[in-house]
């Protein structure tokens, strides 16, 4: 019994081959169109009956041809396109985040510049802290320099 081959799948193969031949013949047979005696348009792969009716054979367009690319190449191209879209989305997200950070920094700097201007304009006691942590009165030239710097920052960051 070990030397015998089981051939139970042979009838199945034969039926698949015969079915494929019949199907391909039906596909290549074409489609017929006619209007029956009731005025109904009929489409069929079988020619119309021999009754006097208006008959027209419709030639089907050829099946879509296979391009020069292999199916694996199409899949590879699809994956490449998807990765490119993901990269673009990531780059756009990074650019948006960077823009948001720049905008927040500008708003913060604008606020600092305006508060500095307000303090320098309204304050009668113009005190500054020294590097050692002591406070002293600001000279008029120091005050003018700080006002100029604050106005420059306001023009730059407050749009």
Question: What is the model's pLDDT at position 17?
Answer: 66
Question: What is the model's pLDDT at position 1?
Answer: 47
Question: What is the model's pLDDT at position 40?
Answer: 83
Model confidence over 57-68: pLDDT tens digits?
667 677 666 555
- Which residues, given as ranges, of the chain have pLDDT below 50? 1
DSSP letter assigned to residue 39: S
Q: Which residues neighbour 137 within 8 Å (Cβ) at sequence distance 6 or greater?
A: 125, 126, 127, 128
Model confidence over 23-54: pLDDT tens digits?
655 555 567 777 877 888 887 777 777 655 55
Helix (H) or strand (E) holding 30: none
Residue 129: both structure tokens together: 């802290």
Q: For residue 133, is it left (φ>0), alpha (ψ between -120 and 50) or beta? A: left
Residue 1: both structure tokens together: 């019994």
CA–CA gap between residue 73 and residue 119 (Å, rounded): 69
Question: What is the model's pLDDT at position 111?
Answer: 92
Whole-model pTM? 0.42
């Amino acid at each position: 019994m070990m030397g015998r081959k089981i051939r139970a799948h042979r009838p199945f193969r034969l039926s698949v081959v015969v079915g494929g031949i019949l199907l391909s013949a039906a596909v290549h047979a074409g489609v017929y169109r006619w209007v029956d005696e009731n005025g109904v348009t009929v489409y069929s792969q079988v020619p119309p009956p021999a009754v006097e009716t208006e008959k027209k054979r419709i030639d089907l367009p050829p099946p879509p041809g296979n391009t020069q690319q292999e199916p694996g190449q199409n899949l590879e191209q699809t994956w490449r396109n998807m990765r490119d879209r993901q990269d673009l989305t990531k780059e756009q997200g990074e650019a948006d985040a960077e823009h948001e950070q720049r905008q927040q920094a500008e708003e913060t700097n604008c606020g600092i510049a305006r508060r500095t201007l307000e303090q320098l304009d309204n304050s009668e006691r113009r005190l500054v802290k020294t590097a050692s942590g002591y406070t002293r009165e600001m000279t008029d030239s120091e005050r003018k320099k700080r006002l100029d710097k604050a106005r420059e920052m306001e023009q730059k960051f407050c749009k």
